[in-house]
Amino acid sequence: MSRFISTLLLCIFTMGACASTLPNVSQQPNMAQKLLPSVVLIEARHEFVDKNEKGEIEVRLMRTRGSGTIVHRITNKSGGYTYYVLSCGHLYEPRPGWKISVILRTFDHEGWNTVRKFPAESFWSYENNGYDTSLIKFKSKKLFPIVPLAKKIPRNLMGKECILMGCPFGNVPMIAYGHFGVNCPVTSLGSNYVEMTVFVAPGNSGSGAYLYNEDARQWELVGVITHGYGGGGAGFTMAAIALRLDAIRVLLKRFHLSHMIGE
């Protein structure tokens, strides 16, 4: 237990140290915080029939948790809003004989709110040919913020400051600070991905990766976290891999789904 606390304190201290080196964060302390209500926790429930140790047929339940970001909002004529959430795809891949439902929870000043539970066909997921992404639709009468999407992303992000917003360990949304492309030798994934030195944990898959736009004076989404790597202790890893938003745009255009992110 003491080792867990020590490691966690080290993680928090390191994140704080990174934050102090980011002039944009210190100059705009509330800008990133205002985007946190756009971060959702996604829980996929996989129900399947199997035999237990006695050979009896029973229904078993497996769950996976990840993060997502609200990227588009439509006002419904009948009232309320339709939202689109961008996430990774590997958490929600359908398997033969499995029944899948997804529960979206959002976090605001009132706490966690279950928004909607719907079957797997209500979302679009793609994990193939170097891509790992999904888009999930839900409705709510509550007004939640949407994050700004970067219109132009530098091809070389090496060394640029970044933030990550997601739900580590399936908990409340949190912000982690770091840099792009520092000491992350995983170029075998291809040019669709970018490396980040930032602490991540189980539950951060699907989190948004952000770059600060000096001209617009705002944090903008530039990628989606697909996995972490490198030991960090206490369940954390010291680096993460993000699928670039410009690559996601190309994929959505191919499937005629660009409208799902408001483009």
233 and 157 part of one domain: yes
Cβ atoms of residues 25 and 18 within 8 Å: no
**What is the pTM (predicted TM-score) of this model?**
0.81
- Residues near 10 by beta carbon (within 8 Å), at least 6 away in sequence: 233
Residue 76 has pLDDT above 90, yes or no: yes
Residue where a domain terminates, one of 147, 170, 203? 147
- Write out the two tokens for 135: 């888009």
The per-residue pLDDT for 16 is 37
Residue 256 lies in a domain: no
The per-residue pLDDT for 27 is 47
Count of domains in the chain?
A: 2
The range of the structural domain enclosing residue 196 comes to 2-35+148-249
Residue 21 has pLDDT above 60, yes or no: no
Mean pLDDT calculated for residue range 192-218: 91
Cα-to-chain-centroid distance, residue 187? 21
d(CA 238, CA 229): 7
The per-residue pLDDT for 14 is 35
CATH number at residue 121: 2.40.10
226 and 168 part of one domain: yes
Mind listing the pLDDT tens digit for each residue in 214-237? 998 899 999 999 988 766 656 667
Reported as a pLDDT band with limits 50, 70 and 90, residue 125 is confident
Residue where a domain terminates, one of 147, 180, 197? 147
Residue 255 lies in a domain: no
